[in-house]
Structure formats: C-alpha cells, structure tokens
Amino acid sequence: MNIHEYQAKEILRSYGIPIPRGRAAFTEAQVERAAREMGGRCVVKAQIYAGGRGKAGGVRLTGCADEALQAAKDLFGRTLVTPQTGPDGLVVRRLLVEEAVEIAREFYLSITLDRQSSRYCMIASAEGGMEIEALAEKSPEKIHIVTIDPLVGLRPYQARKTALALGMTGKLCEECVTLMMNLYRCCLEKDCSLVEINPLVVTGSDWLMAMDAKINFDDNALFRHPEYQEMTDFSQIDPLEITAGEFDLSYIKLKGNIGCMVNGAGLAMATLDMLSEYGGAPANFLDVGGGAAKDRVAAAFKIILGDPDVKGVFVNIFGGIMRCDVIAEGIIAAASEVGCTLPIVVRMDGTLVEEGKRLLQESALNVLFTHDLAEGVENIVRMVQG
C-alpha cells in the first residue's frame, strides 16, 4: 500500500526523525497561507503515488508567498507523467509546502526486505538523491548494505559502521546511528515493506534531516493497522481497482480490449501472456481467488464490464477448490444485470464442470464454452477482432 510523502514524513517524525517544517495543502489558499508561515521561501511539492516528480516539474522552489500561489495554481489538477506513473500519469490533488532548507550533503537510506536472505536489510549510500537502482547498476561499490538478523535486530555498532562508511563523524555520526535505529523500529512497528529517505541530508547548520520520504506498507499486515485505511488517497488509484479492492479481488487495468477473469495469479498471468501471443490485447489482470463465492464472481465480472474498452470477455477457470457451477451462476447474474451483449468465451475445467457448462449454455448470454485453453484464447481473440 502506498501513501504520500507528507504522510510518510509524519510517521518518520513520530519516530523522532527530523523532517523540514511543512504543511499538506489541498487548496490554493492553503498553499499561500502555508508559504507565508514559512516566511515565503519554500518548496512546493506535488503529492502523487510515484517518484521522479522533480524531473516532471512537480517540485517548485519559490521565493515568496505569491510565487507559491502561482506554483499551486499551476500544479493543482495537472497530470504528471514520470517514469514511475506509466504513460497516463497521475493527477495532482495535494501539495506539500515545506521550508526551503540549505543542504550541505545528501545521502540515501532505506530499509526493505531482502528476498534472497528473507531478512530486512538497511541500504545506505553517500550518493543521495539518485535512484538507488541506477546507482546499483553503475557503481555498486558505493552502496552499503546491512542484513538484519530479526532475532538480534539492527545493532548500534552496525549502524555506526554504516554511518562512518558514509563519511559521517563525531556528533553527526551518533545522530545518524539514532536515526537508523529509529528507522528500523518504524519499519517493524508500522509493517513497512519499504521505508526510504532519499535524500537524507546534512543541512547547512549540520543537522540531519529527511528531505524526501517514501513508505510502502505490507498489504498482508493491514489487518494490524486499521488506521491505514484512512490514509489512502483514492484520487491516485484507478476507480475499478478501488471497487476490486472492496471485494478483495486482485485487479489491474491494462491497455487492451479483452476482459479477463481467471482464478489464481499464476494462471491469470499465463492467460494474459497467451492472449498477447495469439495477437489479442488483455484489458486487465483479474484474479478471483481460490474460494470465490457467487457474489464475488459477479462483482468481478461487473468490474471487467465497467471498463469501456472491453469488447469481449475471456473466463479461464481451473476448478480445483472453485466449483464451476458457482462461477457460471455469478457470470450469468452479473451479465444479465448489466445487460451484457459482448461475446464471452468461458474455458472451465474442474469440479462440476458439466453443470457449469449447462447453466451457461441455457442462459441468454452470447457465450461460447470450451475445455481447451488454446482453443478458448483463439476464439476470444477472433471474436473481438471480427
């Protein structure tokens, strides 16, 4: 789960990590007022669920409150396209107004899961502000990694070694040790899959400060943090993905015109691959999950049909725990409710498949039933193109 920079910074501050003085703003008036409070010289930063904002023009340094207001007028409602947003970009609805800070040095610092060792690791570099992936490719020797034993936790000596490697000394080094320890505590207590400070800066007056921050929460741990629910900015998420979330369905909008409903993530990915291979273009990824009930299948089908690009639907279900008659009932219910006339190809296999087939064929839907995966894919691609 994503949150905005200003929310991430609030969390860091609650762990004693220094951040610039700032305010989140939802209106132009709020931006102007915040800028006045900062004394005019400030940074206005677009809050979107993606990085690379600076290069896309989403970060403005302003010299007075009027300039901040101009920046706000320009940024609110603007669509930012960055390497992380995809070609459609994301619309700016919130801004962060921060005091401008004099920067002496910049660093990179993050904690995330290392899949290789199945442990959290702390990643640090004296090359702040750069994208860490790019740095890892260009000069991996400039990245310092500490793999953290969960039974022992991050130890101060490990943090100190890292801070020294970054070139910090004396009081500054010890401050950085404290900051790193707090960052690890934050990562665990808040169930983060990533906490990233980039850049972590040393200010002109020799203070450590988190100039930019990014936090991702572990989706599996949301049940431990009911408060996260309210932090989501729905303007940053595709509306169909929001509805899917309500039904606990895994849905991702894609560019094509063949709607897809599949059970199981692996089979869903393989189905999309196969549609492309046969010259079709999938409109979405949708995993209805293992034990989906009739209303969940119906909800899934409605989400697929809610995408105006969809010109046909391919259902690929390998029964297993899911009963094919239940899937069929769900499809029929949803398609009848929205008056769907689009071609539907259903490929089902598994428990009670004959019953599912009978229900579909007896319905008034424009549906073709098949047992064979390749045959199903071929048919839907042809029907959508024809």
Partner 1 sequence: MSVLVNKDSKVVVQGITGRAGLFHTRQCREYGTKIVAGVTPGKGGTIIDGIPVFDTVEQAVRETGADVSMIFVPPPGAADAVLEAAAAGVGLAVCITEGIPVRDMVLVKRTLRESSTVMIGPNCPGIITPGECKVGIMPGDIHLKGKIGVVSRSGTLTYEAVKQLTVTGLGQSTCIGIGGDSIIGVNFLDALRLFNEDPETEGVFLIGEIGGGAEEEAAAWIRDNMKKPVAAFIAGRTAPPGKRMGHAGAIISGGKGKAEDKIRTLRECGVAVAPSPAKMGETMVQVMK
- Just list the catalytic residues: 108, 196
Residue 168 main-chain phi, psi, to 5 deg: -85, 150
Q: Which is nearer to partner 1, 62 or 263 (CB)?
A: 263
- Residues 268/262, Cβ–Cβ less than 8 Å: yes
Q: Please work out, in degrees rounded to the nearest 5, the angle formed at the alpha carbon of residue 154 by the alpha carbons of 150 and 159.
A: 160
The Cα-based distances of 70 to 29, 35, 42 in angstroms read 11, 11, 13
Residues 211-230 that bind partner 1 (CB under 8 A): 218-221, 223-224
Q: Is 287 in the site for partner 1 (CB under 8 A)?
A: yes
* Residue of the chain from 67, 127, 191, 355 that contacts partner 1 (CB under 8 A): 191
Shortest Å distance, C-beta 238 to partner 1: 11
Q: Is 293 in the site for partner 1 (CB under 8 A)?
A: no
Q: Which is nearer to partner 1, 116 or 205 (CB)?
A: 116
Q: Which is nearer to partner 1, 68 or 111 (CB)?
A: 111
Q: Which is nearer to partner 1, 248 or 362 (CB)?
A: 248
Q: Of the candidates 213, 187, 163, which has an alpha carbon nearest to the alpha carbon of residue 19? A: 213
Three-state SS at 348: strand
Q: Is 188 in the site for partner 1 (CB under 8 A)?
A: yes
Sheet harboring 344-349: ordered strands across?
250-253, 284-287, 258-262, 312-318, 344-349, 367-370
Shortest Å distance, C-beta 119 to partner 1: 6
Q: Is 290 in the site for partner 1 (CB under 8 A)?
A: yes
* Residue of the chain from 66, 74, 277, 295 that contacts partner 1 (CB under 8 A): 277
Q: How many residues bind partner 1 (CB under 8 A)?
A: 57
Which region holds residue 169: left if phi is over 0, alpha if psi is between -120 and 50, else beta? beta
Residues 58-97 that bind partner 1 (CB under 8 A): 84, 86
- Residues 173/163, Cβ–Cβ less than 8 Å: yes
Q: Of the candidates 119, 130, 199, 204, which has an alpha carbon nearest to the alpha carbon of residue 158? A: 119
* Residue of the chain from 88, 149, 337, 354 that contacts partner 1 (CB under 8 A): 149
Shortest Å distance, C-beta 149 to partner 1: 7
* Residue of the chain from 100, 231, 267, 368 that contacts partner 1 (CB under 8 A): 267
Residue 223 has which token pair? 């049940």
- Residues 288/262, Cβ–Cβ less than 8 Å: yes
Cis peptide before 199 (omega within 30 of 0): yes
The stretch near partner 1 (CB under 8 A) out of 33-41, 98-106, 113-121, 326-334 is 113-121
Q: Which is nearer to partner 1, 218 or 307 (CB)?
A: 218
Q: Which is nearer to partner 1, 175 or 191 (CB)?
A: 191
- Residues 176/166, Cβ–Cβ less than 8 Å: yes
**How far is Cα 130 from Cα 128, in angstroms, rounded to an integer?**
6
Q: Is 309 in the site for partner 1 (CB under 8 A)?
A: no
Q: Is 243 in the site for partner 1 (CB under 8 A)?
A: no
Q: Of the candidates 98, 29, 87, 33, which has an alpha carbon nearest to the alpha carbon of residue 56? A: 87
| Helices (H), ranges, 38-169 | 65-75, 132-138, 156-165
Q: Is 133 in the site for partner 1 (CB under 8 A)?
A: yes
Q: Which is nearer to partner 1, 95 or 262 (CB)?
A: 262
Shortest Å distance, C-beta 131 to partner 1: 8
Q: Is 351 in the site for partner 1 (CB under 8 A)?
A: yes
Q: By CB under 8 A, name the binding residues for partner 1.
A: 84, 86, 113, 115-116, 118-120, 132-133, 136, 149-151, 188, 191, 193, 218-221, 223-224, 250, 252, 254, 262-274, 276-277, 282, 285, 287, 290-291, 318-321, 349-351, 372-374, 377
